[in-house]
Structure 1
Amino acid sequence: MTIAEVSAKFGVSQDTLRYYERIGLIPPVNRSKSKIRDYTEEDCKWVEFIKCMRSSGLPIEVLIEYVTLFQEGDETAEARKVLLIEQRDNLVAKMEEMKSTIERLNGKIARYEETIGKKEKGLRRS
Protein backbone atom coordinates (compact mmCIF):
# COMPACT_ATOMS: atom_id res chain seq x y z
CA MET A 1 0.00 0.00 0.00
CA THR A 2 1.39 3.43 -0.88
CA ILE A 3 1.70 6.28 1.57
CA ALA A 4 -1.17 8.06 -0.22
CA GLU A 5 -3.42 5.03 0.26
CA VAL A 6 -2.50 4.69 3.94
CA SER A 7 -3.01 8.42 4.42
CA ALA A 8 -6.50 8.22 2.92
CA LYS A 9 -7.42 5.02 4.77
CA PHE A 10 -6.55 6.34 8.23
CA GLY A 11 -7.13 10.07 7.77
CA VAL A 12 -3.53 10.89 8.61
CA SER A 13 -1.48 13.20 6.43
CA GLN A 14 1.45 11.83 4.48
CA ASP A 15 3.73 14.24 6.34
CA THR A 16 2.49 12.83 9.65
CA LEU A 17 3.17 9.27 8.49
CA ARG A 18 6.70 10.23 7.45
CA TYR A 19 7.20 12.00 10.80
CA TYR A 20 5.95 9.00 12.76
CA GLU A 21 8.39 6.77 10.92
CA ARG A 22 11.28 9.22 11.30
CA ILE A 23 10.89 9.50 15.09
CA GLY A 24 10.38 5.77 15.57
CA LEU A 25 6.69 5.90 16.37
CA ILE A 26 6.07 3.29 13.72
CA PRO A 27 8.71 0.78 12.67
CA PRO A 28 10.59 1.53 9.43
CA VAL A 29 8.41 0.88 6.39
CA ASN A 30 9.80 -1.25 3.57
CA ARG A 31 10.51 0.47 0.29
CA SER A 32 9.89 -0.69 -3.25
CA LYS A 33 12.74 -0.89 -5.76
CA SER A 34 11.97 2.69 -6.71
CA LYS A 35 12.32 3.75 -3.03
CA ILE A 36 8.58 4.34 -2.54
CA ARG A 37 7.17 3.35 0.84
CA ASP A 38 5.28 0.07 0.61
CA TYR A 39 3.08 -0.35 3.68
CA THR A 40 2.24 -3.92 4.67
CA GLU A 41 -0.79 -5.02 6.65
CA GLU A 42 1.44 -5.07 9.75
CA ASP A 43 2.56 -1.48 9.07
CA CYS A 44 -1.09 -0.47 8.78
CA LYS A 45 -1.83 -2.07 12.13
CA TRP A 46 0.90 0.09 13.67
CA VAL A 47 -0.54 3.22 12.05
CA GLU A 48 -4.01 2.32 13.34
CA PHE A 49 -2.65 1.63 16.84
CA ILE A 50 -0.69 4.88 16.99
CA LYS A 51 -3.62 6.91 15.66
CA CYS A 52 -5.91 5.40 18.29
CA MET A 53 -3.43 6.03 21.11
CA ARG A 54 -2.71 9.60 19.97
CA SER A 55 -6.41 10.42 19.69
CA SER A 56 -6.76 9.23 23.28
CA GLY A 57 -4.12 11.72 24.34
CA LEU A 58 -1.14 9.45 24.89
CA PRO A 59 2.12 11.39 24.58
CA ILE A 60 4.37 10.69 21.62
CA GLU A 61 7.28 10.00 23.99
CA VAL A 62 5.36 7.19 25.69
CA LEU A 63 4.44 5.66 22.35
CA ILE A 64 8.04 5.84 21.14
CA GLU A 65 9.09 4.05 24.31
CA TYR A 66 6.45 1.38 23.71
CA VAL A 67 7.54 0.81 20.10
CA THR A 68 11.20 0.68 21.16
CA LEU A 69 10.40 -1.91 23.81
CA PHE A 70 8.33 -3.90 21.32
CA GLN A 71 11.23 -3.99 18.88
CA GLU A 72 13.53 -5.29 21.62
CA GLY A 73 11.49 -8.48 21.78
CA ASP A 74 9.49 -10.66 24.09
CA GLU A 75 11.69 -10.01 27.12
CA THR A 76 10.14 -6.52 27.31
CA ALA A 77 6.54 -7.77 27.44
CA GLU A 78 6.14 -7.01 31.14
CA ALA A 79 7.60 -3.50 30.74
CA ARG A 80 5.21 -2.85 27.84
CA LYS A 81 2.29 -4.07 29.91
CA VAL A 82 3.25 -1.80 32.80
CA LEU A 83 3.54 1.15 30.41
CA LEU A 84 0.08 0.47 28.98
CA ILE A 85 -1.43 0.06 32.45
CA GLU A 86 0.04 3.41 33.53
CA GLN A 87 -1.39 5.11 30.47
CA ARG A 88 -4.78 3.47 30.98
CA ASP A 89 -4.82 4.67 34.59
CA ASN A 90 -3.96 8.19 33.42
CA LEU A 91 -6.84 8.09 30.93
CA VAL A 92 -9.26 6.85 33.60
CA ALA A 93 -8.22 9.73 35.85
CA LYS A 94 -8.74 12.21 33.00
CA MET A 95 -12.17 10.71 32.31
CA GLU A 96 -13.13 11.18 35.95
CA GLU A 97 -12.00 14.81 35.78
CA MET A 98 -14.01 15.28 32.60
CA LYS A 99 -17.11 13.69 34.18
CA SER A 100 -16.79 16.07 37.10
CA THR A 101 -16.44 19.03 34.76
CA ILE A 102 -19.46 17.92 32.71
CA GLU A 103 -21.53 17.61 35.88
CA ARG A 104 -20.49 21.10 36.93
CA LEU A 105 -21.33 22.50 33.50
CA ASN A 106 -24.70 20.75 33.54
CA GLY A 107 -25.45 22.41 36.88
CA LYS A 108 -24.54 25.84 35.56
CA ILE A 109 -26.58 25.30 32.40
CA ALA A 110 -29.56 24.21 34.51
CA ARG A 111 -29.29 27.42 36.56
CA TYR A 112 -29.19 29.50 33.37
CA GLU A 113 -32.22 27.68 32.02
CA GLU A 114 -34.04 28.27 35.30
CA THR A 115 -33.20 31.96 35.22
CA ILE A 116 -34.23 32.29 31.58
CA GLY A 117 -37.48 30.42 32.32
CA LYS A 118 -38.33 32.85 35.15
CA LYS A 119 -37.63 35.85 32.92
CA GLU A 120 -39.81 34.41 30.18
CA LYS A 121 -42.67 33.85 32.65
CA GLY A 122 -42.31 37.45 33.75
CA LEU A 123 -42.57 38.63 30.17
CA ARG A 124 -45.79 36.67 29.62
CA ARG A 125 -47.49 38.34 32.60
CA SER A 126 -46.91 41.80 31.23
Structure 2
Amino acid sequence: MNVKEASKLTGVSTDTIRYYEKEGLIPQIDRNDAGNREIDEKIIRRITFAKQMRAAGMSIKALKEYTDLVDDFEDNTEQQKRILQEQIGAMQEREDDIKFAIDHLKYKLEHYEDHMQKTENELRQLETSDGK
Protein backbone atom coordinates (compact mmCIF):
# COMPACT_ATOMS: atom_id res chain seq x y z
CA MET A 1 0.00 0.00 0.00
CA ASN A 2 1.11 3.57 -0.45
CA VAL A 3 1.68 6.14 2.31
CA LYS A 4 -1.79 7.67 1.89
CA GLU A 5 -3.46 4.29 2.37
CA ALA A 6 -1.21 3.56 5.37
CA SER A 7 -2.17 6.93 6.83
CA LYS A 8 -5.85 6.13 6.50
CA LEU A 9 -5.37 2.66 8.01
CA THR A 10 -3.27 3.78 10.99
CA GLY A 11 -4.72 7.22 11.66
CA VAL A 12 -1.22 8.69 11.40
CA SER A 13 -0.75 11.55 8.97
CA THR A 14 1.39 11.06 5.88
CA ASP A 15 3.76 13.75 7.13
CA THR A 16 4.15 11.93 10.44
CA ILE A 17 4.83 8.63 8.69
CA ARG A 18 7.56 10.33 6.65
CA TYR A 19 8.92 11.93 9.83
CA TYR A 20 8.95 8.58 11.67
CA GLU A 21 10.90 7.11 8.77
CA LYS A 22 13.36 10.02 8.67
CA GLU A 23 13.94 9.77 12.44
CA GLY A 24 14.41 5.99 12.29
CA LEU A 25 11.35 5.21 14.40
CA ILE A 26 10.20 2.88 11.65
CA PRO A 27 12.45 1.01 9.21
CA GLN A 28 13.26 2.49 5.82
CA ILE A 29 10.28 1.94 3.56
CA ASP A 30 10.86 0.22 0.24
CA ARG A 31 9.97 2.17 -2.86
CA ASN A 32 8.55 0.98 -6.15
CA ASP A 33 10.01 1.81 -9.58
CA ALA A 34 8.17 5.14 -9.59
CA GLY A 35 9.78 6.07 -6.26
CA ASN A 36 6.58 5.77 -4.23
CA ARG A 37 6.70 4.18 -0.80
CA GLU A 38 5.34 0.65 -0.62
CA ILE A 39 4.25 -0.05 2.92
CA ASP A 40 3.79 -3.60 4.13
CA GLU A 41 2.29 -5.11 7.29
CA LYS A 42 5.63 -4.88 9.13
CA ILE A 43 5.74 -1.12 8.60
CA ILE A 44 2.07 -0.76 9.54
CA ARG A 45 2.77 -2.52 12.83
CA ARG A 46 5.75 -0.24 13.53
CA ILE A 47 3.73 2.89 12.70
CA THR A 48 0.99 1.69 15.05
CA PHE A 49 3.53 0.94 17.77
CA ALA A 50 5.10 4.40 17.43
CA LYS A 51 1.66 6.01 17.49
CA GLN A 52 0.71 4.16 20.67
CA MET A 53 3.97 5.00 22.43
CA ARG A 54 3.66 8.67 21.45
CA ALA A 55 0.07 8.67 22.72
CA ALA A 56 1.43 7.30 26.00
CA GLY A 57 3.63 10.39 26.20
CA MET A 58 6.94 8.95 25.05
CA SER A 59 9.26 11.53 23.56
CA ILE A 60 10.71 11.07 20.09
CA LYS A 61 14.18 10.76 21.61
CA ALA A 62 13.11 8.06 24.09
CA LEU A 63 11.12 6.24 21.41
CA LYS A 64 14.14 6.24 19.09
CA GLU A 65 16.32 4.83 21.87
CA TYR A 66 13.68 2.21 22.62
CA THR A 67 13.19 1.13 19.01
CA ASP A 68 16.96 0.95 18.51
CA LEU A 69 17.09 -1.50 21.42
CA VAL A 70 14.25 -3.53 19.91
CA ASP A 71 16.00 -3.60 16.54
CA ASP A 72 19.30 -4.63 18.12
CA PHE A 73 18.18 -8.28 18.39
CA GLU A 74 20.02 -8.51 21.72
CA ASP A 75 18.34 -8.99 25.07
CA ASN A 76 17.94 -5.35 26.03
CA THR A 77 15.09 -5.96 28.43
CA GLU A 78 16.63 -4.03 31.31
CA GLN A 79 17.39 -0.98 29.17
CA GLN A 80 13.91 -1.08 27.66
CA LYS A 81 12.34 -1.31 31.11
CA ARG A 82 14.50 1.61 32.26
CA ILE A 83 13.20 3.76 29.39
CA LEU A 84 9.61 2.82 30.19
CA GLN A 85 10.16 3.64 33.88
CA GLU A 86 11.67 7.01 32.96
CA GLN A 87 8.66 7.75 30.79
CA ILE A 88 6.31 6.86 33.64
CA GLY A 89 8.17 9.37 35.81
CA ALA A 90 7.93 12.04 33.14
CA MET A 91 4.21 11.42 32.71
CA GLN A 92 3.65 11.55 36.47
CA GLU A 93 5.30 14.96 36.53
CA ARG A 94 3.00 16.10 33.73
CA GLU A 95 0.06 14.63 35.63
CA ASP A 96 0.98 16.76 38.66
CA ASP A 97 1.24 19.87 36.46
CA ILE A 98 -2.12 19.14 34.83
CA LYS A 99 -3.75 18.51 38.22
CA PHE A 100 -2.40 21.85 39.49
CA ALA A 101 -3.70 23.64 36.37
CA ILE A 102 -7.14 22.05 36.70
CA ASP A 103 -7.35 22.95 40.38
CA HIS A 104 -6.28 26.52 39.56
CA LEU A 105 -8.94 26.87 36.87
CA LYS A 106 -11.59 25.42 39.16
CA TYR A 107 -10.65 27.98 41.81
CA LYS A 108 -10.89 30.77 39.23
CA LEU A 109 -14.31 29.54 38.14
CA GLU A 110 -15.59 29.17 41.70
CA HIS A 111 -14.40 32.70 42.52
CA TYR A 112 -15.23 34.30 39.22
CA GLU A 113 -17.40 37.12 40.52
CA ASP A 114 -15.16 38.13 43.41
CA HIS A 115 -11.80 37.56 41.73
CA MET A 116 -11.82 37.16 37.97
CA GLN A 117 -14.20 39.99 37.13
CA LYS A 118 -12.16 42.38 39.27
CA THR A 119 -8.91 41.30 37.62
CA GLU A 120 -10.43 41.52 34.13
CA ASN A 121 -11.76 45.02 34.84
CA GLU A 122 -8.31 46.10 36.04
CA LEU A 123 -6.75 44.71 32.84
CA ARG A 124 -9.29 46.59 30.72
CA GLN A 125 -8.56 49.83 32.58
CA LEU A 126 -4.85 49.38 31.98
CA GLU A 127 -5.49 48.84 28.28
CA THR A 128 -7.62 51.98 27.97
CA SER A 129 -5.22 54.13 30.01
CA ASP A 130 -2.05 52.95 28.17
CA GLY A 131 -0.90 55.52 25.65
CA LYS A 132 -4.33 57.10 25.24
TM-score range, shorter chain: 0.7 to 0.9
CA offsets 1:46-99 (integer angstroms, 9 cap, x no match) = 212212332444221111111111110242122111101111221122112211
**TM-score relative to the length of structure 1:** 0.76
**1:34-45 paired onto structure 2 within 5 Å:** 35-45=35-45
The one-letter code matched in structure 2 to 1:92 is Q
1:66–1:83 CA contact under 8 A, matched in 2: yes
2:59 is aligned to 59
CA offsets 1:20-62 (integer angstroms, 9 cap, x no match) = 1122011223444655433232321221221233244422111
- What's the secondary structure of 1:25's corresponding residue? coil
- What's the secondary structure of 2:12's corresponding residue? coil
1:27–1:67 CA contact under 8 A, matched in 2: no
Matches of 2:71 and 2:9, distance apart in 1: 25
2:108–2:115 CA contact under 8 A, matched in 1: no
**TM-score relative to the length of structure 2:** 0.73
Cα RMSD over matched residues? 2.4
Matches of 1:29 and 1:47, distance apart in 2: 11
Question: How many aligned residue pairs are there?
Answer: 116
Matches of 2:61 and 2:11, distance apart in 1: 22
2:29–2:37 CA contact under 8 A, matched in 1: yes
Q: List alignment gaps of at least 5 residues for structure 2.
A: 117-132
1:3–1:39 CA contact under 8 A, matched in 2: yes
- What's the secondary structure of 1:37's corresponding residue? coil
